[in-house]
Structure 1
């Protein structure tokens, strides 16, 4: 299996993961989906990586599934395999990795591409970006956890309407409705993404991972369960080296130097 469908660059404790099939708007085929899973695993297990940026090459972030693959008698793996072996494991990895993942949306995000974007921890997009729940336009239903995250981000009524109608949503609209964290001007997009990633890479990584675990659990926990988990993970966070450094820096009135430990 060749590796050029996903590019990986690691610098300054940041892993830049780039979808790299620009000729088909970074739509997923089996090779690309499996390669992304492998790269996410590598970044999770690499102690030098303390933050990740997921983005795309070319004009699109990701147009979702490569329809040429699913309509090819020779290549079509079938929707069961596509979901259970491609998209579901990608979403699961993004949510379970205990490191912050920025979705840096550089162009149109449609179908599974939109929902992979929304699964990231912090999602930013430049002003020319659009998001489309394109499934209904070809007679399909949302997958890649779109029906899980979207109503939680923007509300049940709005999410269901977007899923049914397939409306194109601008980055400005997405920010206003709470679908994404922030819209960034095109001319400063790369610079602002790098600043955000660098900030996260120098923060207390274990605490960020525990925050991610808490928010994941809040999707299904009762209030009592969430309070109990907060207590458990707060005790865990208080035992980290970064907590000791943060408190010392606060008392000494200096900038903390977190090590991600």
Structure 2
């Protein structure tokens, strides 16, 4: 079940469920906790009978700048860092698979910077609507 948080906000208006990434001061970069919260939010909205479509949006100037690399770097010297990165990849993969499995339409309302894992969120949505200022980037491929 989704637990309300400042970083991932959920609301239902009529028949539309909306999930908002709300870390604008960090470009809505995904923390480990946010990935789990997103999974729970999609599950809850999928199970909500009155919700017929799910919109994913980002607050501030960016949709999502990918994973929170500062969080990952902060744990890089721990003995379990390598296994944690495997867990991180698995949890992100589980979220994306969940988005693809949901039979209700999912819509990514993308704007500003859309990088890395943010691009994956857009790709996993059934419909992507991009604002004029949207810039899709996969910087890790450099």
Q: Give the structure with the larger strand fraction.
A: 2
Deviation at 1:2, TM superposition (A): 6.2
- Give the distance between the partners of 2:4 and 2:129, measured in 1 at CA: 29
Instruction: Tell me by how many angstroms 1:127 deviates.
Output: 0.6
Correspondence list, 1:115-130, <5 A? 115-130=120-135
Give unmatched runs, 5+ long, in structure 2.
none
**Matching residue of 1:27:** 29
Residue 250 (structure 1) aligns with: none
Alignment of 1:40-119 (within 5 A): 40-73=42-75, 78-85=84-91, 87-119=92-124
The RMSD of aligned alpha carbons is 1.8
Q: Residues 39 and 2 of structure 1: is their aligned pair in 2 closer, same or farther, counting only changes over 3 Å?
A: closer
The structure with the larger Rg is: 1
User: Offset at 1:5?
Assistant: 1.2
Q: Once the two structures are superposed, what CA deviation does each residue of 1:76-99 show, in whole Å capped at 9, x if it has no partner?
A: 6732011112x1111111100110
Higher relative contact order (CA closer than 8 Å, sequence separation 6+): 2
Question: Once superposed, which parts of structure 1, at least 4 consecutive aligned residues long, lie more than 3 Å away?
Answer: none
What TM-score does the superposition give when structure 1 sets the normalisation length?
0.50
Higher-helix-fraction structure? 1
CA shift for structure 1 position 12? 1.5
- What is the rounded CA distance, in whole Å, between the counterparts of 1:136 and 1:106 in structure 2? 21
Question: Aligned match of 2:138 in 98, 116, 133?
Answer: 133
Residue 8 of structure 1 aligns with which residue? 10
In 2, distance between residues paired with 1:62 and 1:96? 22
Figure out how many residues of one structure are paired with residues of the other and give that number. Answer: 136
Structure 2 distance, partners of 1:107, 1:46, is 30
1:210-231 Cα distance to aligned partner (Å, 9 max, x none): xxxxxxxxxxxxxxxxxxxxxx
Tell me, yes or no, if the aligned pair for 1:70 and 1:78 is still in contact at 8 Å: no
